[in-house]
Structure 1
Amino acid sequence: MIAVTFILGEVVLRVFNYFADSHIFYDGSYNRYRGKPHVVLYGYTLNSGGFNDTEFIAEPDDYRIIGLGDSFTFGIVPQNHTFLTKLESKLKQRLGKVKVFNMGISQTNPSDYYTILTREGADLKPDLVLLSFFIGNDFDVPRKPWFRHSYMLTALNYIYKVAWKVKDFAGHQPYCDSCDTFVRKEYLRIEKERLDSWQYHVPENGEFPGGNNGLFEGTVGILLSTRDYCKAHGAKFIVTIIPDELQVDERLQQDIIAEYFPKTSRLPYNVLTPTRMLTQRLGENQISYIDFYEAFKNAIPDQQLYKPSDSHWNIAGNEFAAQILADSLVKIIPNRNLIAQDIEHSPE
């Protein structure tokens, strides 16, 4: 009876996923988590490509920026508060005609970013590609766990590990900037799991333990490919490094210590290891980057920049990041206002 029920459930879920295309079930494509075109999220409508932005239209003389990344880039806050929307507004105020295209898709990684750029971003003819690298999980290489072969086991795992522990399902109710996303204990488990992943382990002689140096080098290799693609197509390439909250918030670190490491009263690994390794390799390969670590670490004692029990930025965090980016990018983007003035005043 149990076997029959399981098989029936398997069939029903596969049929359901065929028509509903749910993100719960495994799919190696980055489209698994792509937004649905024209769906309303927190009062704002996704564009026809399922991106959290207006339609991708630019004037011929716009300076064009493509933003790549995961859920940080897509945005878990309302569309008008995402850091790329804010960045576009700030750059327009200071430089004139600038267009930022938000091509972020949740649950993606650097390999996906490269594919999105080459398949979907090329036609936009970007002047600058801004790739947001989240330290928390962008080193991970997607693997298909054994239970993912079964839709029933996948659904049961989702219910056990995620569904009942999430307080706010994105977009299904009005956005709450001060509400916890996960119950606190579950969020601490998520951050502890990230801390245990290979990239936080202190390298010995420049090598990550457990044979994971290949994973690190693979990630760097993808960034090099993105750099080379941008160069070949006349676009600048900049990596923005987004810290995990456990790296910058000492209060969260203390909560993790109290929950998991009460005997030692300290974290077992250096939380800055992955950031230091990444910035070193970016520098060695002449890849420009903007590291948010110091700015967020210095600002957090005085203000909340991450959504409660959620590793994503809140509205203030998105605003803070946009200001850092605007202050940096204004130094390298041509001032469209001055160019227009020069054209207007040039002798015939």
Structure 2
Amino acid sequence: MKDAVQSRKVFLLVLCSSMLFALKIVSLFLLFEEKMGTSVYLSMVLITPVILCLTLTLIGIANRRSWALNTFLLAFFAILPTFLLGFIHIWKFHWAYYPFLLLEVFCFLTAMIQLIRLPKDFWKPNTSTAWKKLLRPDFLTLPFFLLALLEFGLFSLGISPSVIQGNPYFHPVDSLVVWQDYSADEYGLTHVNAQGAELAANGTWLGKERTKESDPYRTYSFSTISIFEDWTLLREAPPTLPFAHLLADLKQRPDTLLDELDRAHLEFLNRPINSHGYRSIPFKNYATDRPTVLLLGDSFTFGWSARPWFGSFADHLRALGYVVYNAGISGTGPDQYAAAAKVFIPMLKPDYVIVNFFVGNDILYFPVETKPYEMVYYPTNAGVMMARPTYERIPTAEEAFQFYLNQYYIPLNSFFNKFCAYTSVGSIFWRLGKRFSIFQSITNAPNQEYFERNLMHRSTRPVSEAYLLEIEALCQQEGSQFVCSIIPDLKNLRPDLDKDYPDLFQSITPVIIQLSEKDYNLKDTHFNLQGHERYSRFLDSLMRSIPAN
């Protein structure tokens, strides 16, 4: 009887140790996947031996058996490699990954040996041994309780069931709706179309006024609707930001004291999307001595996360006295920047052309051919889905939706996948299998064939600079100063371009701003109001140091 009770205690110890071991492995995985902050990770790792020590004390075997102390020490020192692995990841000492992973495996195997060395009568198929008592309901519910606790913890950390890779700009929907406020023109430039411009200016769509009972989000994107809301605030509320103060001052001036650029700013107040489909003053040459600048870029340049929108760095530059032509559009890349430059640099002949290069998604390895009336993405209620994930274009929004659904969520094409997809624990297990090529025939997503088919088109080095060189050549031809300004990714705010992005720039020397996390909206990783203001001052000082031609 004594041995049976002791065996149950050993079983509890091994079960608890295994769960804690799994918890810290999952914590390490979440850290690598950037789903867990450094401080939370360290707390999870350090609390493990404390919980184990309490467990040993509660079951009363901490000092009665040598194997109990050995198991405790084993579990305690098993924390060390995990702890160091986390720091290796944080400090980017990639060479040290494998030695510490081997140490983790050694600790796990040692724990298995401890399990095998349990008292002999524990394994005897005799109902008089501990097995009969281990089948009692209180022992059976313990592992399920621990699994439920782990499931709840993972879900609280934002690890949703069935998710392979989190993407804040894509989510499943029951009925796909393609938004009607974006399109592409004869040059292949993605832009806000006339319907979207009308919505942003007047809050109307399909010829009807917007009402609380209606649902414009089913037809138009958040950006144009929110621009209308912010521009209504800009027209009616007291000024709070520099550009709002500029417009308030212009509205107070007599018409005779307004020049052509002043009237353009007042027109911008009434129509925030110009006739070319950009959030900018009209694209035309103004009779002014003020420096002119053409901004090329993506959602950062468009003004994403500057709420209100007129707090973006483009509007800050307007308040500083620049004639700003903002040709930034969300979701675009260097191929679109070059296409826009071919149209607008000869037309506007700006003093400065600034390419706002975001290293988070502007590094291309596949060449992109810009074609008339062909959008670079599908704007939908499921999110903005890129039409060219690699080289080959996905022809329809419906096919793109299925592609990204397979990319970001566990495909339900087998019993194993369905079993894993229903829980966060199962989803973590599936992702581990995919990462380490375990159950490869099962975890291979349906998109695998697409990626293998396009692999032959992938360049050995980034092709982004080729598009930037086209823009630089146009600037030299038209007498404009060319600037490539790097916007750092929130994941790496102090990048070493040669080390972190090798072969990205060989002929161009970009400039880079020094920012901190406080300059970003942590939810969507774009500039917040402070970041937009700091970046505008950076560009202002940069242009002041480079005389216009």
TM-score range, shorter chain: 0.5 to 0.7
Alignment of 1:138-157 (within 5 A): 138-140=362-364, 141=366, 143=388, 148-156=394-402
Q: Give the 3 Å change call, closer, same or farther, for CA 291–309 of structure 1 in structure 2.
A: same
Q: Give the 3 Å change call, closer, same or farther, for CA 324–212 of structure 1 in structure 2.
A: same
- In 1, the alpha carbon distance for the partners of 2:341 and 2:276 equals 14
Which residue identity lines up with residue 476 of structure 2 in the other structure?
Answer: K
Deviation at 1:271, TM superposition (A): 8.7
1:59 to 282, 287, 312: 287
Which residue identity lines up with residue 230 of structure 1 in the other structure?
Answer: C
Indicate whether 1:282 and 2:508 are aligned.
Answer: yes
2:542 to 315, 328, 332: 328
Q: Give the 3 Å change call, closer, same or farther, for CA 49–331 of structure 1 in structure 2.
A: same
1:108 paired residue number: 332
1:183-223 Cα shifts (integer Å, max 9, x gaps)? xxxxxx9xxxxxxxxxxxxxxxxxxxx9955451x322221
Q: Give the 3 Å change call, closer, same or farther, for CA 153–110 of structure 1 in structure 2.
A: closer
Deviation at 1:20, TM superposition (A): 3.1
| Higher RCO (CA < 8 A, seq sep 6+) | 1
1:159-194 Cα shifts (integer Å, max 9, x gaps)? 7889xxxxxxxxxxxxxxxxxxxxxxxxxx9xxxxx
Which residue identity lines up with residue 100 of structure 1 in the other structure?
Answer: V
Indicate whether 1:70 and 2:298 are aligned.
Answer: yes
> 1:130, 1:240 within 8 Å by CA — same for their partners in 2?
yes
Q: Give the 3 Å change call, closer, same or farther, for CA 144–99 of structure 1 in structure 2.
A: same
Gaps of 5+ in 1: 1-11, 93-97, 163-188, 190-209, 251-269, 284-288, 335-348
Which residue identity lines up with residue 113 of structure 1 in the other structure?
Answer: Y
Alignment of 1:1-348 (within 5 A): 20=180, 29-31=188-190, 36-40=196-200, 41=227, 42-44=229-231, 45-57=272-284, 58-76=286-304, 77=306, 78-90=308-320, 92=321, 98-140=322-364, 141=366, 143=388, 148-156=394-402, 213-216=459-462, 218-248=463-493, 273-275=499-501, 277-279=503-505, 281-283=507-509, 289-292=510-513, 295-296=514-515, 299-300=516-517, 304-333=518-547
Secondary structure in 2 aligned to 1:232? Answer: helix
1:207 paired residue number: none
Secondary structure in 2 aligned to 1:245? Answer: coil
- In 2, the alpha carbon distance for the partners of 1:100 and 1:235 equals 14
Gaps of 5+ in 2: 1-174, 201-226, 232-271, 369-387, 409-430, 432-455
- In 2, the alpha carbon distance for the partners of 1:277 and 1:319 equals 31
1:7-47 Cα shifts (integer Å, max 9, x gaps)? xxxxx98xx86x93667x9xx94316778324421423322
- In 1, the alpha carbon distance for the partners of 2:525 and 2:507 equals 25
- In 2, the alpha carbon distance for the partners of 1:271 and 1:278 equals 8
> 1:247, 1:271 within 8 Å by CA — same for their partners in 2?
no
Secondary structure in 2 aligned to 1:61? Answer: coil
Q: Give the 3 Å change call, closer, same or farther, for CA 32–65 of structure 1 in structure 2.
A: closer
Which residue identity lines up with residue 321 of structure 1 in the other structure?
Answer: Y
Deviation at 1:123, TM superposition (A): 1.4
Deviation at 1:63, TM superposition (A): 2.0
- In 2, the alpha carbon distance for the partners of 1:71 and 1:281 equals 26
> 2:355, 2:483 within 8 Å by CA — same for their partners in 1?
yes
> 2:280, 2:326 within 8 Å by CA — same for their partners in 1?
yes
1:315-337 Cα shifts (integer Å, max 9, x gaps)? 11111111111122112246xxx
> 2:352, 2:480 within 8 Å by CA — same for their partners in 1?
yes
Secondary structure in 1 aligned to 2:394? Answer: helix
Q: Give the 3 Å change call, closer, same or farther, for CA 38–79 of structure 1 in structure 2.
A: farther
Percent identity between the aligned chains? 25
Q: Give the 3 Å change call, closer, same or farther, for CA 319–151 of structure 1 in structure 2.
A: closer
1:257-298 Cα shifts (integer Å, max 9, x gaps)? xxxxxxxxxxxxx99745464455423xxxxx3212xx11xx
Deviation at 1:85, TM superposition (A): 1.6
1:207-260 Cα shifts (integer Å, max 9, x gaps)? xxx9955451x322221121111101111100001111101289xxxxxxxxxx
Deviation at 1:147, TM superposition (A): 9.2
Which residue identity lines up with residue 325 of structure 1 in the other structure?
Answer: L
- In 1, the alpha carbon distance for the partners of 2:318 and 2:337 equals 20
- In 2, the alpha carbon distance for the partners of 1:212 and 1:144 equals 12
- In 1, the alpha carbon distance for the partners of 2:323 and 2:182 equals 32
The higher radius of gyration belongs to 2
Q: How many residues align?
A: 237
Deviation at 1:71, TM superposition (A): 0.7
- In 1, the alpha carbon distance for the partners of 2:393 and 2:547 equals 48
2:210 paired residue number: none
- In 2, the alpha carbon distance for the partners of 1:310 and 1:49 equals 27
When the two chains are superposed, the root-mean-square deviation of aligned CA atoms in Å is 4.0
Secondary structure in 2 aligned to 1:149? Answer: coil
- In 2, the alpha carbon distance for the partners of 1:84 and 1:226 equals 20
Q: Give the 3 Å change call, closer, same or farther, for CA 234–212 of structure 1 in structure 2.
A: same
- In 2, the alpha carbon distance for the partners of 1:325 and 1:248 equals 18
Deviation at 1:110, TM superposition (A): 1.2
After TM superposition, the score normalised by the length of structure 1 is 0.57
- In 1, the alpha carbon distance for the partners of 2:395 and 2:289 equals 49
